[in-house]
A and B are shown apart, each in its own frame.
Chain A
Amino acid sequence: MAEKTYVEEISRSLYDFRDAVNADFQTDAGLTKEIVAHISEEKHDPDWMAEFRQKSLAIYNQLEIPRWGPSIDGLNMDNIVTYVRPKTDMKGTWEEVPEDIKNTFERLGIPQAERASLAGVGAQYDSEVVYHNLQSEVAAQGVVYTDLESALTGPYAEMVREHFMHLVPPTDHKFAALHGAVWSGGSFVYVPPGVHVEIPLQSYFRLNAPGAGQFEHTLIIVDENAYLHFIEGCSAPKYNVANLHAGCVEIYVGKNSRVRYSTIENWSKNMYNLNTKRAVVEENGIIEWVSGSFGSHTSYLYPMSILRGDHARMEFTGITFAGNGQELDTGAQVIHLGKDTSSHIVTKSIARDGGVSNFRSGVTVTKHADNSRSSVSCESLMLDDRSRSDTIPVMDIQTDRVDVGHEARIGRISEESIFYLMSRGLSEEDAKALIVGGFAEPIAKELPLEYAVEMNNLIHLEMQGTVG
């Protein structure tokens, strides 16, 4: 009798190491007015921010948990520590970063990547940014890349206040409200008009403390005729208790500007990843999302693009790989407001070993978005009969002057393809590995080389046996 295809668990040894928890300060578990006030006090919030946090908490308490996505019953906010400050303040050189934390980022390859291929790096450890640096040449062009707390009170304070949680207001959903109440860490980026940041910036988020939450806020403002590639990475060691990530990314893409936002999400499998990402794009602007989702116990992740200006454009390229115990609900949303706007969504998802990988999308073309175009394409690969993959796309079209297309495909590795490759001399295992690699290739080629290698490591598959 034929043996079923067997796909091995991804080796997580690169990411799954723990430091001893050695916090300088942490709040009690749970979410109360007092805890939120304590965070404000510890972070020396300006008055408006302290007030904003309390209002967000009130909204959080009013809103219901979403009823349409994967279960988050295993997440009990009473057990989550929302703020953990490591025993260091932010440093500008790796030498100044405490040894244990520096070793963590060394093992993750962040300083090496900075030396090799990045214009600037921010590194967050639990709730605070511990390292931030920007190449002097880039800074000389007027580019600002710093931690958000510094920006709150520095020369860009007013700009931060004007933009912070305006794209993702706390009323958006329960976990946006949670974020508004307890956010900490994250980065602020400002690219002045006409500046092209040729080399990417990267922020890396590491959550070490068990039972903690990470709520970093990334605010990116790219002025007119500018370009930025921003890379976000994240990981955590696995614990037996639930951890929570409810970060928020807000991106403002100016007229004629282009922003590429790449993410390799590799949280541990005890993580609830309830992240919110949103961009607004002005006339002739372009937002490009490249997203790889591999980790987490449960994910809700659907970057939204608001195409406000005429001729604005959005491209989303994503891959999701769900294994045993994971339910990853990912996809993208786009709202066409301007005329002649276009969106293009391409996703691939793989489910194996009982994992659940869902694709969810929402395309809205509003009444005045004449001559808009949208295409959505999603492909799902099921690697065994214990896994699950649902495709839930919705299109809401409110005008006739549009061209909207959608296609989806779901299935398994075709026996004919394996047979063909074997007839050309490949072993069955190699044939399957080649097909899965080819399935993910359109996404990998959108990533910088070193991140494509990381992604390939993450979907390293070993095949054995024959087709069942």
Chain B
Amino acid sequence: MTKTILNPLPAPTWNRLGVNQANISLPEIPTQGWGESSTRVDAPIDSIQLECPGFSALESGGGADLDCFLRENANFHLHLAVKEGTEGMILIQHTLEEDHPHAIAHLTLRARPHSKITVIEVIRGGVSGSIHGSLAEIQAGEDAEVTLIQLQMLSAAARSWSAVSATAGENAQICIYRAALGGSSVLGGGKCLLPGTGSAFEARTIYYGDGDTILDFSDTAVHTGRKTRSEIHAAGVLDGNCQKTLRGTIDFRRGAVQGVGHESEDVLLLSPDVRNRTAPLILCGEEQVEGQHAASIGRLDEAMLYYMASRGIGEGEARRLLALAKFAPVLDALPPDLRCEAESYLERRLPS
């Protein structure tokens, strides 16, 4: 069997560092097939049309092998177009349970000019052998705004692979919020092409890993148009023997005049046995750009703990509060009910 490459680093480096590609393989196809998913869709607006597939998208951040796998094995399909000048929200909920342990979704979304759409994908449950997969292919037309929020709250019995590819037209804005809070093996790869003048991409990832969890993320912004912007930010908490790899790439192609890109990561390490790998790349073939990245990796700030203790907050509670604060950038984007659910989920999972 040919070795598949997932989450490839756009500019490879020393193999010994283990970041050139994910250390996660594709799942085996069950002998009885994937079966049906138990996915529910709520789309309470009439501005959304069903569209035929055949959507031509670029490769996702997960790489061609992952895209191909998800496309070919999807057991849930949703192909949508949002009418020009309209707004709406779609809620997609996958629950992995005994009768429906697999949900592999293929979503295509075309946001026509001046439309605004939010897609929330919630993934819950998980029994032994559960698989979640998601391929989202997005095209945002002129002045369109697309927000994709993926809230994954799986049990440790489940594994998850998700890929996003997006293209932003003139002044379009695409936001990908990824909350990877559960699962034993989690891979997420996003890529956004910014050919439209003034287009923007925002990717925010939060993650929590404990036990023997393996987390692997890769997000890339490809600036080709003028005055394009990208913001790629990640924050998370690692505990137990968790291994996490994050690749963030801002790729300024020639012609991306006045492009601006920022990326950052803030990692809180709670165990001496975690392994955290970070590869924040800036690739630059254009002179008139501004690119920055920053990373901060370490334990809780002792000074902050001391301050909180001086305000009457015990050390354990202070640690929980500071850990929870890492997740705010994505949880804040959720509707109140989902935010409460996510916070409760985290409260249960974070060490006391």
What residues of chain A have their CB less than 8 Å away from a CB belonging to chain B? 67-68, 333, 360, 362, 364, 367, 370, 380, 382-385, 387-412
Interface stretch (choices B118-126, B278-286, B321-329): B278-286
CB of A410 within 8 A of CB of B284, answer yes
Is the beta-carbon distance between A395 and B295 smaller than 8 angstroms?
A: yes
Interchain CB contact under 8 A, B282 and A390: yes
Given A362-B17, A406-B295, A408-B293, A396 and B277 contact (CB-CB distance below 8 Å): yes
Report yes or no: B275 in contact with A397, Cβ–Cβ below 8 A.
yes
A409, B295: Cα distance in complex, Å? 12
- Kindly state the separation between the CA atoms of A395 and B245 in the bound complex, as whole angstroms: 10
Contact across chains for B11 and A392 when beta carbons are under 8 A apart = yes
Please tell me which stretch of B102-110, B173-181, B264-272 contacts chain A, meaning at least 4 of its Cβ atoms lie within 8 angstroms of it. B264-272
Given contacts A397-B275, A403-B298, contact A390 B293 (CB under 8 A): no
Query: Is there an interface contact between A68 and B15, defined as CB atoms closer than 8 Å?
Result: yes
Are A390 and B283 in contact, with the CB atoms below 8 A?
yes
In contact, A380 and B284 (Cβ under 8 angstroms): yes
With both beta carbons as reference points, the residue of chain A lying nearest to B274 in the complex is identified as A400
**Residue of B whose beta carbon sits closest to that of A382:** B287
Measured in the bound complex, the distance between the Cα atoms of B274 and A333 in whole Å is 21
A392 touching B297, Cβ below 8 Å: no
Asked whether, in the complex, the Cβ of A68 is within 8 Å of the Cβ of B295, the reply is no
**Chain A contacts for B275, CB-based, 8 A:** 396-398
Closest 10 pairs (CB-CB, A-B):
A400-B269, A68-B12, A406-B295, A404-B297, A410-B291, A382-B287, A385-B287, A391-B282, A397-B276, A407-B294
| A382, B284: Cβ atoms closer than 8 Å | yes
A400-B270 contact given A382-B287, A411-B290, CB 8 Å threshold: yes
A399-B298 Cα distance, complex, nearest whole Å: 9
Query: CB within 8 Å of A: which of B91-147?
Result: none
Residues of B within 8 A of A400 (CB): 269-272, 274, 298-299
With A392-B279, A392-B281, A397-B269 known as contacts, the answer to whether A387 contacts B287 (CB < 8 A) is yes
Query: From residue B233, how far is it (CB to closest CB) to chain A in Å?
Result: 14
* Residues of B with C-beta under 8 A to A367: 272-273
How many of chain B's residues touch chain A, expressed as a range?
35 or more
Tell me which residues across on chain B come within 8 A of A403, comparing CB atoms: 297-298
Whether B254 sits at the interface, judged by CB under 8 Å, is: yes
How distant is B207 from chain A, measured CB to nearest CB, in Å?
15
Residue from B12, B13, B292 in contact with A407 in the complex, judged by beta carbons closer than 8 Å: B292
Known: A396-B17, A400-B274, A408-B282. 15 other contacts (CB 8 A): A68-B13, A333-B14, A382-B289, A385-B254, A391-B283, A394-B17, A394-B19, A394-B279, A397-B274, A399-B274, A400-B298, A402-B269, A404-B296, A407-B295, A412-B289
Contacts A/B (CB < 8 Å), 28 sampled: A68-B12, A68-B20, A362-B14, A380-B282, A385-B286, A392-B279, A393-B281, A394-B13, A394-B279, A396-B18, A399-B273, A399-B274, A400-B270, A400-B274, A400-B298, A400-B299, A401-B299, A402-B299, A404-B298, A405-B297, A406-B296, A407-B293, A408-B292, A408-B294, A409-B291, A409-B292, A410-B291, A412-B287
Residue of B nearest to A356 (CB): B285
B184 at the interface (CB under 8 A from A): no
- Asked if A392 contacts B18 (CB within 8 A), the reply is no
Quick one: which of B16, B270, B293 contacts A406, CB cutoff 8 A?
Answer: B293
User: Could you tell me the distance between the alpha carbons of A387 and B297 in the complex, rounded to whole angstroms?
Assistant: 32
Q: Within 8 Å CB of B272, what residues of A? A: 367, 370, 399-401
Contacts of A68 in B (CB 8 A): 11-15, 20
Give Cα A218 to B61, complex, Å: 43
The interface residues of chain A lying within 8 Å CB-to-CB of B270 are: 400
8 Å CB interface, B221-273 against A:
252, 254, 269-273
Q: How far is the CA of A382 from the CA of B277 in the complex (A)?
A: 28
Task: Give the shortest distance, in Å, between A336 (CB) and chain B (any CB).
Answer: 13
* Cα distance, A393 to B275, chains bound together (Å): 17
B86 at the interface (CB under 8 A from A): no
Q: B38 within 8 Å of A by Cβ?
A: no
Q: Classify the interface of chain A: helix, strand, loop or mixed.
A: strand
Measured CA separation A354–B274 after assembly (Å): 42
List residues of B (149-168) whose CB comes within 8 Å of A's CBs: none
Q: How far, in Å, is A415 (CB) from chain B's closest CB?
A: 10
Closest chain B residue, CB of each to CB of A374 = B297
A194 → B minimal CB distance (Å)? 37
- Report chain A residues within 8 Å CB of B269: 397, 399-400, 402
Q: Give the shortest distance, in Å, between B264 (CB) and chain A (any CB).
A: 9
Contacts of A399 in B (CB 8 A): 269, 272-274
Please give me the residue from chain B that is nearest to A67 by CB atom. Answer: B12
In the complex the two chains form, is B274's CB within 8 Å of A382's CB?
Answer: no
Q: Are B284 and A406 closer than 8 Å at their CB atoms?
A: no
Cβ–Cβ < 8 Å partners of B282 in chain A: 380, 390-391, 408, 410
Please state if A394 and B278 are interface contacts (CB–CB under 8 Å). yes
Q: Is B73 an interface position by the 8 A CB rule?
A: no
Does B288 count as interface, using CB distance less than 8 angstroms? yes
How far is B282's CA from A392's CA once the two chains are assembled, in angstroms?
Answer: 7
Query: In angstroms, how far is the closest chain B Cβ from the Cβ of A365?
Result: 9
- Give Cα A395–Cα B246 distance, bound, in whole angstroms: 10
Q: Which of chain A's residues have a CB closer than 8 A to the CB of B14?
A: 68, 333, 362, 394
The answer to whether A406 and B280 touch across the interface, beta carbons within 8 angstroms, is yes
Per the bound structure, the CA–CA distance linking A389 and B250 in Å amounts to: 12
Question: A404 to B299, alpha carbons, bound, how many Å?
Answer: 10
Contact of A394 among B271, B277, B291 (CB under 8 A): B277
Residue of B nearest to A368 (CB): B272
- Shortest distance in angstroms between A94's beta carbon and chain B's nearest beta carbon? 42
Contacts of B286 in A (CB 8 A): 382, 385
Give chain B nearest CB distance to A417 CB in angstroms. Answer: 13
Contact B279 A393 (CB under 8 A): yes
The answer to whether B13 touches A392 (Cβ under 8 A) is yes
CB of B227, distance to nearest CB on chain A (Å): 15
B5-52 residues with Cβ-Cβ distance < 8 A to A are 11-20
A236 to chain B, nearest CB (A): 28
Query: In the complex where A396-B275, A396-B277, A400-B272 touch, is A390 in contact with B284 (Cβ < 8 A)?
Result: yes
Nearest CB of A to B245, in Å:
9
Kindly report which residue of chain B lies nearest to residue A359, judged by CB atoms. Answer: B282
> Measured between alpha carbons, how far is A387 from B283 in the docked complex, in Å?
12
A58 to B: closest C-beta gap in Å = 21
A158 to B18, CA, bound (A): 37
- Tell me the smallest distance from the CB of B279 to a CB of chain A, in Å: 5
Q: In the complex, A395→B279 CA distance in Å?
A: 7
Contacts of A382 in B (CB 8 A): 284, 286-287, 289
Q: Name the residue in A397, A402, A412 with the highest tally of chain B Cβ atoms < 10 Å from its Cβ.
A: A397
Which A-chain residue is minimally distant from B283 (CB atoms)? A390
B280 contacts A402, CB within 8 Å? no
* Per-position binary interface string of chain B over residues 79-90, scored 1 when its CB falls under 8 Å from any chain A CB and 0 otherwise: 000000000000
A402 x B19 contact (CB < 8 A): no
**B284 adjacent to A364 (CB under 8 Å):** no
Q: How far is the CA of A67 from the CA of B272 in the complex (A)?
A: 33
Asked if residues B281 and A390 are in contact (CB atoms below 8 Å), the reply is yes
With A380-B284, A412-B287 as contacts: A362 and B293 at CB distance below 8 Å: no
Task: Say how far B259's CB is from chain A's closest CB, in angstroms.
Answer: 10
